[in-house]
Each structure stands twice: as C-alpha cells, then as structure tokens.
Structure 1
C-alpha cells in the first residue's frame, strides 16, 4: 500500500499545486470583479471552492473578458 502511494506522489504533488494555484487565482479575480456574465459573486466563489479543479477552469472560460 505504501509503495503505491510513493509511486503516485510525482503525479499528485504537481496536480495539487496546479489546483491550488488555479483556485487562488480564480478567487482573487472573482473578488476583484464587479459584474459577472452568468452568475453572481457568491455562487462563483462556491463553485470555485467546491469543484476543485473544474470550478476555477469554468470561471476562467465563462467569465473571461
């Protein structure tokens, strides 16, 4: 069991770092943005936080200006 986790670490660590960077960037951008095309600010914040990797990507795709 421990060997399996050690084999996955080189893949999981960059994925976790990417997810964290995307989430922080999307949250900062959503906090600074005043108007939104599709949803309001609290809903976007929830989507970004609850849907870890997909939420920030959705925000960038749908709310990009």
Structure 2
C-alpha cells in the first residue's frame, strides 16, 4: 500500500507552512527594528530571523527581546 502525494496535495501541505514562516519572519523583523534593547546584537538577531527559517523568529520571540 504505497501511496504517493499528488502535486496538489503537496502544495496544500507546503503553502500554509511557507505563509506561516513569512508572517513570523516579518513580525519578528519589525519587532527587532522597533525594540531598543535585545539580548545580543540586533544584526545577529536579524540574521537568525532570516536564515533560521521557522525556528529563527520563534527564537527571537522567546530569547531575543528584553523585558523592560
């Protein structure tokens, strides 16, 4: 019983993940730009957010922002 995914099913699985990743990345980049102090250099967090794919923005939300 070997089943294969058709292209439409594959797109239906991947597109929501890509949209979620883009939304999280944009929100994290905006928050990083507006935040005065971060834990570590801002440029480092920008690179983590961009190249960390889905985990980068989540890491910034959890560890990058300082609570004043």
Q: TM-score scaled to structure 1, two decimals?
A: 0.85
Runs of 5+ consecutive residues of structure 2 not aligned to the other structure: none
Q: TM-score scaled to structure 2, two decimals?
A: 0.81
What residue in structure 2 maps to residue 15 of structure 1? 17
Runs of 5+ consecutive residues of structure 1 not aligned to the other structure: none
Q: Distance in 1 between matches of 2:48 and 2:37?
A: 17
Q: CA deviation at 1:34?
A: 1.0
Q: Distance in 2 between matches of 1:36 and 1:26?
A: 12
Q: Distance in 2 between matches of 1:25 and 1:33?
A: 12
Q: Distance in 1 between matches of 2:25 and 2:48?
A: 10
Cα distance per residue 1:16-39 (max 9 Å; x no partner): 0000000000000000011113x1
**Who wins on radius of gyration, i.e. which is larger?**
2
Q: What RMSD over aligned residues (CA atoms) do the two structures have, in Å? A: 1.4
